[in-house]
Structure 1
Amino acid sequence: MLSRVADNLYWFGRYLQRAENTARIVNVHGHLIFDLPRQVEFGWLPLVQILGQEEQFRERYNGDSGEAQIMRFLLLDEQNPASIISSLQHAREILRTIRECAPREVWERLNDLHYLLQEKGDKALSRSKRQEFLQQIIDGALLMYGMIGANMSTDVGYHFLRIGASIEQADMTTRIIDVRSSSLIKPKAAEDLAPFQNIQWMGVLRSLMAYQMFRRHVRGRVNGPNVLRFLLQNREFPRSVTYCLNAISQTLPRLPPDRPLQRTLDRCRALVMDADVDRLMLGGISEVMDEIQLGLADVHAGVSKAWFQAA
């Protein structure tokens, strides 16, 4: 397979995963409004922070962090590389050039989502229409995953797509943990936050569609240590960081060998598995999430150097 095609499939997996996760965190964030009392201020800026686009957002919208501006930035702003419309446009452009590598039905469904954004995207800026619109994006992405898994040959191209999706999901999981666990709820007084800690961690789980599986695997309360342990170190939940890294490790033997990449991946996995969750709860969540994100960036750089860059 040409390195250009492999690179495209890798990024197709990343962009599709990014669009679905962005739609999901916006959708869940809106639901949390109904779980919080009036004395707790509800912030929308954490959604921008999760995607690492706060600086660009403030430049483009002159610091106005209202709900309408943030929704437009995350859903429909083509200059925001992390917006849903940008992610799907990039994925569509990639698939247009390599249509022979993926099932035709994936191309058709991606076009449906593209035209949905073009025709009805503005309506999603209002709360009354947003949930239905975002659910269509999520369902469309999940349908494409199913088509890829059921109908795409598990050859080299499939494995590159899987690596891209796994890196993107692991990165998004760490971002959601980092930002949502610290700045989702803004109480007017410090003592107002304590009664809603569990709601906050429940929002973290629901942002990753993890609540039901958490209940199945963890025989305990929804609290910080249990949620962190599940989302970072569980080996069976597909959106946990450890699961994503293990998926990449299982894929590597099917590709041309590259020992430096394997060592980089092993270091990143060790960082996640060795994390002391109880100590993280004392104030070190952001630092460890930053370290994991840097590790994932190293894995991405290793993948690019091993197979996509010209010798």
Structure 2
Amino acid sequence: MLSRIAESLYWIGRYVERAEDTSRIVDVHLTLLLDDPWAPEDVVCASLLSAMGHEPAETVRRDEVLQALVWDASTPASVVGSIGAARENGRRSREVVSSELWESINVTWHEASRPGRRAYPHPFLTWVRERTAAFNGVADGTLSRDEAWHFLVLGRSIERADMIARLAAARALAGTAGPSWVTLLQSCGAYQAFLRSARGAIDERRAAEFLLLDPLFPRSLMSALVVAEKSLDKLALQHGVDDRTTTRQAHRVLGMIRSELEFAPPAELLEDVYQVMERVQSACSVASDAIAQRYFPRSVVTSWMAS
């Protein structure tokens, strides 16, 4: 597979997942402000922007969060920007993605760009989650389980791990002003699965452990890291045995942070959630750079100069 196609598929997976997860994170924080009139708006909004990589001003309001994280089409860090970036990468890989997959992302982009969407942020964020779920369903049903599929899943898994870490970090940073762990489960569509797993024993510690450590729920942090490692294994096998050594850096950093989560006592992990989630985000960044260096090398541009 051409490196440019592989790179496009990897980033389609990342951008679609980013759009979904950002919509979840923003929605749960805005719902908190509506449900709790005593929640300090500036603290909640500032912690959310900080967790998402923005430098908040002294006083941050709801509209500023929506503009930066939802509506700003000029940056792939926002919901609309992520959808646009995913569409552009889909256009570059038309010879590999199915027509149904392209139509799904293309229609989503055009609908998301309609000016009327801005008037109804909560319905829009819900709609984004529905559209990204439809995209992933089309991808599951129309792509062969070859390199294209593994690059898409690899991108999706690394982005999911990074965004879950951001969600947990935002909660830890906001402290008592932030949403509860049970609320975070609801924002991730994990609440019903958690109830079955906990057998009705609902408390904050169990909810946090489920979101971060559960090996069976697909949107847990542990599951995302495991799937990313498996995708790297599949790609290494398809590129030959020697390729395992060239992807060792990505394997190493993802394996180290997964092992830390897997074997650390849950009580110690939950006492230091913010610092652990910072290490998860760092590991995802290092792994992404290692993957890019191995599979998406940039051509050297020859500079012609007159003597």
How is 1:283-298 mapped onto 2 (pairs within 5 angstroms)? 284-298=272-286
Provide, for residues 161-207 of structure 1, a one-character-per-residue CA deviation record: whole Å limited to 9, x for no partner: 10000000001011101112330653xxxxxxxxxx8x612222122
Aligned partner of 2:244 in structure 1 is: 258
Separation (CA, whole Å) in 2 of partners of 1:48 and 1:244? 23
| Letter matched to residue 231 of structure 1 | L
Secondary structure of 2:114 counterpart: helix
Provide, for residues 242-270 of structure 1, a one-character-per-residue CA deviation record: whole Å limited to 9, x for no partner: 11121122223322232313333321221
Aligned partner of 1:88 in structure 2 is: 83
Separation (CA, whole Å) in 2 of partners of 1:274 and 1:224? 20
Secondary structure of 2:105 counterpart: helix
Aligned partner of 1:8 in structure 2 is: 8
Q: Residue 204 of structure 1 is aligned with which of 164, 176, 184? A: 184
Q: Residue 116 of structure 1 is aligned with which of 106, 111, 114? A: 111
Aligned partner of 1:150 in structure 2 is: 141
> Following TM superposition, by how much is the alpha carbon of 1:2 offset from its aligned partner in structure 2, in angstroms?
1.0
Give the share of equivalent positions with the same residue, in percent: 30
Secondary structure of 1:131 counterpart: helix
| Letter matched to residue 258 of structure 1 | R
> Following TM superposition, by how much is the alpha carbon of 1:117 offset from its aligned partner in structure 2, in angstroms?
2.3
8 Å contact kept, 2:169–2:274: yes
Aligned partner of 1:47 in structure 2 is: 48
Q: Which structure 2 residue ranges, 5 or more long, are not aligned?
A: 300-307
8 Å contact kept, 1:81–1:87: yes
How is 1:1-311 mapped onto 2 (pairs within 5 angstroms)? 1-36=1-36, 38-42=37-41, 43-53=44-54, 55=55, 58=57, 64-120=59-115, 123-124=117-118, 126=119, 129-183=120-174, 185-186=176-177, 200-219=180-199, 221-255=201-235, 256=239, 257-259=243-245, 260=248, 261-282=250-271, 284-309=272-297
8 Å contact kept, 1:271–1:292: no
After superposing on structure 2, the runs of 4+ consecutive aligned residues of structure 1 that deviate more than 6 Å are: none
> Following TM superposition, by how much is the alpha carbon of 1:223 offset from its aligned partner in structure 2, in angstroms?
3.2
> Following TM superposition, by how much is the alpha carbon of 1:88 offset from its aligned partner in structure 2, in angstroms?
0.9
> Following TM superposition, by how much is the alpha carbon of 1:227 offset from its aligned partner in structure 2, in angstroms?
2.2
Provide, for residues 7-64 of structure 1, a one-character-per-residue CA deviation record: whole Å limited to 9, x for no partner: 111011000000111112222223334543x4443422333223212x2x54xxxx55
Separation (CA, whole Å) in 2 of partners of 1:273 and 1:139? 31
> Following TM superposition, by how much is the alpha carbon of 1:301 offset from its aligned partner in structure 2, in angstroms?
2.1
Q: Which structure 1 residue ranges, 5 or more long, are not aligned?
A: 187-196
Deviates more, 1:73-82 or 1:38-47: 38-47
Deviates more, 1:18-27 or 1:272-281: 272-281
8 Å contact kept, 2:165–2:221: yes
CA 1:52–1:70 in 2, change beyond 3 Å: closer, same or farther? same
Separation (CA, whole Å) in 1 of partners of 2:175 and 2:124? 23
Provide, for residues 132-164 of structure 1, a one-character-per-residue CA deviation record: whole Å limited to 9, x for no partner: 222221111110000000111111011011000
CA 1:78–1:241 in 2, change beyond 3 Å: closer, same or farther? same
8 Å contact kept, 1:19–1:84: yes
Aligned partner of 1:192 in structure 2 is: none
The CA RMSD over aligned residues, in Å, is: 2.2
| Letter matched to residue 143 of structure 1 | A
8 Å contact kept, 1:48–1:70: yes
CA 1:39–1:48 in 2, change beyond 3 Å: closer, same or farther? closer
8 Å contact kept, 1:74–1:80: no
Separation (CA, whole Å) in 2 of partners of 1:71 and 1:185? 22
TM-score (structure 2 length as normaliser): 0.86
8 Å contact kept, 1:173–1:208: no
